[in-house]
Amino acid sequence: MRVLGVDPGLTRCGVGVVEGVPGRPLTMLGVGVVRTPPDAELGDRLVAVEQGIEQWLDEHRPEFVAVERVFSQHNVRTVMGTAQASAVAMLCAARRGIPVALHTPSEVKAAVTGTGRADKAQVGAMVTRLLRLAAPPRPADAADALALAICHIWRAPAQNRLQQAVARSRPRQAVAPHTAHATKGRTT
């Protein structure tokens, strides 16, 4: 199973690709950060994030994309940018038909360190050990992206069984936008 983990952000969007199955050693295929300049227009930054994510999808062809679930109780100033960058990552994956999974920060920490309250250093240390790296990936966003991918590989079997059960009970439909139109003089 090949997973692209995305730690969403506008200034630094962590990306990491891990391949493996539960119970076997994991392999890191790539890690990095997509950056956009804080002083650029918001729309242009979103386009740059899209281009960066597309490059990673082109290069690594992941079967799953795991994105950190954004909560609004975080820092008010940064949460909007995080939500917007995560939307772009989910959009890029879904456009290609790649399943998108969301994992909360506590789920990711618990998966790789055994505790949902681990700090950045613990997460970085465990990612380094699990992927047999020479040193912790920098910046922390890159390590977090790898942790997301690892979390998904380990949790996916249970999640997939659940999704399959849901799919059996309710056939999934393709989503097309339903647009109501009106022209001048008429109102919908």
39 known member of a binding site: no
**Max intra-chain CA distance, the chain:** 67
Q: Are 123 and 110 in contact (CB under 8 A)?
A: no
**Partner residues linked to 64 by β-bridges:** 3
119 known member of a binding site: no
Element (H, E) at 167: helix 140-169
Q: Does 168 participate in binding its own copies (rule CB under 8 A)?
A: no
- Residues between 15 and 34 with contacts to its own copies, criterion CB under 8 A: 15, 27-34
68 known member of a binding site: yes
Catalytic residue list contains 141: yes
- At 34 the three-state DSSP class reads strand
- Residues between 76 and 105 with contacts to its own copies, criterion CB under 8 A: 76, 79-80, 83-88, 90-91, 93-95, 100, 102
Q: From the candidates 41, 68, 119, 144, which is the catalytic residue? A: 68
Q: Does 182 participate in binding its own copies (rule CB under 8 A)?
A: yes
> Cα-flanking dihedrals φ and ψ of residue 74, to 5°?
-70, -175
Would you please indicate which residues are annotated as catalytic (active-site) residues?
7, 68, 141
Residues forming the annotated binding site for Mg(2+)?
7, 68, 141
